[in-house]
Every structure is written in C-alpha cells, then in structure tokens.
Structure 1
Amino acid sequence: MRCFVINLERETGRLGWMTTAFRRMGLGFERFSAIDKTALDDDIINRLVLRNHHNWSPGEVACFMSHIAVWRRIAEGSDRHAVVLEDDVYFSRDAADFLSDDAWIPAGVDLIKLETTLNPVLVGRRGGKIKTHRLLPLYSFHNGAATYAISRRLAAQLVTQASRIDRPVDDFLFDMTRHETPCWQLSPAISIQEMFLPDQATTLPSDLEPERLATPRLPRPKVRLTRSEKAIREIRRLLWRILHFPRRAIIPMGAQDRQSGRLAEQMLG
C-alpha cells in the first residue's frame, strides 16, 4: 500500500524524522512536496476559499491544497487504498502491520482515521477486531489529518467535492455530523502528532498551529429553523442515538518503542 508523506521542501529535519521512522518499520514511503503558504497570494486564496464562518490562515489553505493534490495522485493510481501522512507523527510498535498493505481493510470501507489526538470522540460500541486493535465506526468530529487510509474511489470523489474550500481539511474529512461517507477509527491508534503527546519535549514544532491560533475566528452563523424543522431534527437525533448507541471515548495510542517516546504506559495504563 502506498504511503504518501506530505513535507515542505524546507522541512528537512521532519523528512529525516519520517525516513528514520519508516526505515525502522522496514517500509518505504513517497514524499509529496507540500504546497508552501508563501507561494499563495490573495488572488489564489480568494478563488479557492469560500468566505464563511472560518477566517482562513494561508497555512490552512496550503495544507488543504496539499491534501487535495495527494488525493488526485491516489485517484490516478491503481491501488485500492493509500495512506496519507503529515511529517510530524510518532508511530506505534505495530504500525507496519497496518501500513504495509491494505489486506486488513474490509471491503466497502473508504476512510479510516489511523491517528489519535487524545480528544473525546463518539464511536460505536462494537467493531471488527484486527489483531490487538478494533475498527470502530466514528460518529463525531475527530480533529487532525496526519494519518489516514483512503480508498481510490473516495479520493477521486473528494477531489471533485473540494473544488471550493469551506473548512479545514480535518473538518472536511472527519466531521461526521456533516459527512455522507462512513468513517472508521482504528483503536488503539497507530500514530499521534508530536504536539498531542503528553509531557513531550517539542522537537518537531508545528508550522501551522501557531498561525492557526493567532488567526481570529469568526463566530459560526446560527441557523434559524422553523418549529417543524426543529422537531424533525430532534427526532432524527433520537433515532440516531437509538440505532447507533455510541459511546464517548478517548482513542488511546498504541504501544511505542522506547526510541519513539515513553508514552504507552501513560496512555494505556
């Protein structure tokens, strides 16, 4: 299974980090040259971005454009699935079992979140067991787009849908309240971005997060519903909870080798 690592030309340290990590797993990857925010001017941003509730930073636009470019590459390929990664992730000890091929992915599954950010999410109570992990249906937004498996079919579909950008890439992929494609979560996860590691010294500082935090956010517009629309919405919510009976959980990170950090005992203990 092809693994695409999105990496800026100037981030040679991050590329070295990922090269070492993949070498330890006995795997290779394809570096995908990220679109640099410094190459974007206002005209490009205005053509691509829908100005709604989100006040966009140039880094967020460049990040989304990089993911779209990778999806296009996947859609043009022949593999059933591929994995898209950003260049600042730590891997679990058994990550290679899930990155080497897609034989473990059930038929009909198009999108799997392979990472965790240690934020609470809603997942199904039952899921298919894969070795020591479970593949759970994801029913709420799980932030981050640093490691996910995507099918060739869905990649082609998303390239078309993302002709105009109206929200960040992780929101676009993993907000299940506004998504039509079922999404799945691997638990425990096999990767985590460094910025979400507890008590971890920063060696791979985020290029995007400081800019995102410094950019003022506009309030989300309130949607005004009629009484009948409100009633239908509440009935749908109730039926959804009855049918899916989700549980609130923090997706743990899988056990790591010492070289990757002293994390497993803290998270899973």
Structure 2
Amino acid sequence: MSCPVYLINLPRDTRRLAVMQAQLQRLALPFEVTPAVYGRDLSAEERARLYSPALNRARFHQAMAPGEIGCYASHLQVWQRLVDSGAPHALVLEDDAELRPELPAALQAVAALPPHWDMIKLIGREPESVLQSWPLPGCAVELVRYQRAPSLTCAYLVSRDGALKLLRSRRPFFRPIDVDLRHWWEADLRLFGLTPYPAGQTDEATTSSIGSREFGAWWSRRWRKGRTQWHYSRGNTRANRALQALPDPFPELNAR
C-alpha cells in the first residue's frame, strides 16, 4: 500500500491517537499525523478566510460551530498536503475510525483501478441504496455509486484531482464537511463507496471533539432546514439522472 495515510488528530487527544496508532500498526499501514485545527483558536481573519457566514445563511439551515469550522479546515489542510505531495491519492482518517481487517486488501484493489474516481467513502450506513455496483477482484468488497451519499467522513480515499476540485470549490466553505460532501455535484466530484464498509467508528465517536453548534430561533431553523433538505433532494435527483446518462466508468469490472 503505497499511498499516503493522513490521520487528523487534535494534539490534545492523545488517547484517540494511541488507539489509531495501534490499529494502523496492526494493519501494517504507515501513517502521518496531521494536527487538527481547533476552531476556537482561529483568529477572526483566519475564520473569515475559511468560512462564509453569508453563504451559510443562504444555503444551510444553521450557523457552523467553531468545532465544525475547525474540522473542515483540517480536511482542507489534508487535501492541500496531498496535492503538494504529488501522490495520486491518499487515505484520510479521523481519529474515531475503526479499521477493519478487510481494509488493506480493499486499498490494494482500489490502487489497481483506472483513475476514474475522485473520492471513495470507506464508511457509511448499511445497507446503502446504490445506483450501480462493481465487484473488485481480490477482495470481499465492491465499488458502489450511491442513490444518496452517506454523511460520515472519518475514513475515505481522495484522489489528487478530487482534492484539487475540493480546494477550488470549497474555499470558503459554508456547511459542515459531512453534509457538504453529500453535495458532490457542486464540486463535480466523482464519488463512490466500498461496501461492505472496511471502516466504522469507535466508541470515541459518541464523544465529539467538535463541540456544540450555534443555534438560532427554533422556528427559523426548522423552516431553513426544510428548505435545505428540499434543495438537496432536487440537486441529488438531477445529478443522479445526469450520471445515468454517462458511459460506465469501470466497464472492465463487469458492472451489474
């Protein structure tokens, strides 16, 4: 497995780091720690450069918490790190990921694929509703294209082209990263997943490092949430129709 592995971890979360280090060593996966951004430590100028309150008000149903801003900024750092490295793709992990024994074989199978993908999710909700699936030789998982992309972001593969697309389209950002990546069509992101998923979440996931959100009045938030969900459903339906009109990206895998 030659692609870089980037582990996002707040320096203060030493226990999480130790758990991840043990898992990665057990699977013989070398990794690099990327210090996470602590949102409350950002200056007003840094926050304004990263996050757009105006776009947030227009296109999401509630303001982002400082921790959510820091989380997104951490992933931006990783994407830039991948671009600077020159590697074709990277494995990105948050420090609450549970790594399953199938992961190394799945990574090897993905490395043999043609570069017709930008992001492959390694965690989600089982079972998934999929548009299309492809068996991957040599491992017990298959590549899928989603009806609706899952929101979890603690384990995924991203290509260099995918990182470039996200860096161009998501500075500044205005939604939490788990929600934002579900809107893959906005960045022209070629998004797939592997199922059964070779990663999950540890018990640490129940204790978030992100912190609480900033809330507005409940009635305003409820109306805005309904509007956000309607826009997502409409955009997702249109994007899926466009995908189905395109040629099969992996005909050699005998899609079914």
Measured against the shorter chain, the TM-score band is 0.7 to 0.9
Q: Deviations over 1:175-206 (max 9, x none)?
A: 346552221010011111225xxxxxx58722
Q: Deviations over 1:188-230 (max 9, x none)?
A: 11111225xxxxxx5872212x524x7458324749xxxxxxx
Match of 2:77, as an amino acid?
A
Residues 203/115 of structure 1: CA separation in 2 closer, same or farther (3 Å cut): closer
Report what 1:174 is aligned to: 182
- Find the partner of 1:62 among 63, 70, 91: 70
Verify the 8 A CA contact 1:143 1:171 in the aligned structure 2: yes
Report what 2:197 is aligned to: 189
The 2-side partners of 1:20 and 1:56 are apart by 32
The 2-side partners of 1:58 and 1:12 are apart by 21
**How far did 1:133 drift?**
0.8
What number of residue pairs does the alignment pair up?
A: 225
- Backbone CA RMSD of aligned residues: 3.1
Listed as ranges, the matches of 1:1-269 within 5 Å are: 1-51=3-53, 52=57, 53=60, 54-99=62-107, 102-118=110-126, 121-130=128-137, 131-176=139-184, 178=186, 180-194=188-202, 205-208=207-210, 210-212=211-213, 215=215, 218=221, 219-220=224-225, 222=227, 240=241, 243=244
**How far did 1:42 drift?**
4.2
The 2-side partners of 1:192 and 1:159 are apart by 26
Verify the 8 A CA contact 2:165 2:187 in the aligned structure 1: no
Share of identical aligned residues, percent? 26
The 2-side partners of 1:49 and 1:41 are apart by 12
Residues 240/3 of structure 1: CA separation in 2 closer, same or farther (3 Å cut): same
**How far did 1:132 drift?**
1.2
Stretch moving more, 120-129 or 11-20: 120-129
Report what 1:229 is aligned to: none
**How far did 1:145 drift?**
1.0
SS at match of 1:141: coil
**TM-score with structure 2 setting the length:** 0.76
Query: Which 5+ residue runs of structure 2 have no aligned equivalent?
Result: 229-233, 246-256
Report what 1:260 is aligned to: none
Residues 237/40 of structure 1: CA separation in 2 closer, same or farther (3 Å cut): closer
SS at match of 1:4: strand
Query: Which 5+ residue runs of structure 1 have no aligned equivalent?
Result: 196-201, 224-232, 245-269
The 2-side partners of 1:151 and 1:70 are apart by 12
Verify the 8 A CA contact 1:139 1:176 in the aligned structure 2: no
Choose between structure 1 and 2: higher helix proportion.
2
Match of 2:122, as an amino acid?
L
**How far did 1:77 drift?**
1.2
**TM-score with structure 1 setting the length:** 0.73
Residues 239/3 of structure 1: CA separation in 2 closer, same or farther (3 Å cut): closer
